[in-house]
Amino acid sequence: MSLFHLQRYADGDQIEVAGTRVRLKVSGRARRVSLRLDTTRGEVVATAPSPRRLNEAAAFAVERTDWIAAQMARLPDAIALHPGAVIEVQGHPVRLEAAPGRARWRAPVDGDITTLTVSGEGEAFTRAVVRALKAEARRVLTVRTEVHAAAVERPMPVVSIMDARARWGSCKPPRRAGFGAAAEVGRIRYSWRLILAPARVLDYVAAHECAHLVEANHSPRFWAVVKDLIGDHRPHRDWLRAHGPRLHAFGRD
Given a cut of 70, is residue 235 above it in pLDDT?
yes
| Tens digits of residue pLDDT in 161-193 | 999 777 899 999 987 665 544 557 899 999 999
Tell me, yes or no, whether 119 and 211 share the same domain.
yes
Tell me, yes or no, whether 134 and 92 share the same domain.
yes
Q: Given this model, what pLDDT does residue 76 score?
A: 79
Given a cut of 60, is residue 4 above it in pLDDT?
no
Instruction: Kindly tell me the burial class for residue 94, based on how many C-beta atoms sit within 10 Å of its own C-beta (0-12, 13-18, 19 or more).
Output: buried
Nearest to 168 by CA among 125, 128, 212: 212
Tally of domains within the chain? 2
Given a cut of 70, is residue 13 above it in pLDDT?
yes
Evaluate whether residue 80 is within a structural domain.
no
Tell me, yes or no, whether 91 and 215 share the same domain.
yes
Tell me, yes or no, whether 91 and 70 share the same domain.
no
Evaluate whether residue 127 is within a structural domain.
yes
Q: Given this model, what pLDDT does residue 177 score?
A: 60
Tell me, yes or no, whether 114 and 199 share the same domain.
yes
Tell me, yes or no, whether 69 and 112 share the same domain.
no
User: Which is it for the CA torsion 86, 90, 92, 95, positive or negative?
Assistant: negative
Tell me, yes or no, whether 124 and 171 share the same domain.
yes
How many angstroms separate the most distant Cα atoms in the chain?
70
Evaluate whether residue 81 is within a structural domain.
no
Tell me, yes or no, whether 90 and 69 share the same domain.
no
Q: For residue 101, give its domain range.
A: 86-249
What's the predicted TM-score (pTM) here?
0.78
Evaluate whether residue 79 is within a structural domain.
no
Alpha-carbon distance 182 to 36, whole Å? Answer: 42
Nearest to 236 by CA among 212, 209, 195, 202: 202
User: Identity (one letter) of the amino acid at 65?
Assistant: T
| Tens digits of residue pLDDT in 33-92 | 999 988 767 789 999 999 999 999 999 999 999 999 988 887 777 888 999 999 999 999
DSSP letter at 53 equals G
- Helix residue ranges, H only, 52-181: 54-63, 65-74, 123-151
Alpha-carbon distance 97 to 252, whole Å? Answer: 19
Tell me, yes or no, whether 114 and 135 share the same domain.
yes
- Assign residue 148 the CATH number of its domain: 3.30.2010.10
Given a cut of 90, is residue 251 above it in pLDDT?
no
Evaluate whether residue 52 is within a structural domain.
yes
Tell me, yes or no, whether 62 and 93 share the same domain.
no
Tell me, yes or no, whether 45 and 124 share the same domain.
no
Given a cut of 80, is residue 105 above it in pLDDT?
yes
The predicted model gives 233-250 an average pLDDT of: 92
Q: Given this model, what pLDDT does residue 75 score?
A: 78
3-state secondary structure of 6: helix
Q: Given this model, what pLDDT does residue 1 score?
A: 39
Q: Given this model, what pLDDT does residue 249 score?
A: 87
The domain boundary, picked from 74, 102, 132, lies at: 74
Given a cut of 70, is residue 209 above it in pLDDT?
yes
Cβ atoms of residues 9 and 61 within 8 Å: no
Nearest to 83 by CA among 109, 122, 133, 114: 122
Tell me, yes or no, whether 103 and 185 share the same domain.
yes
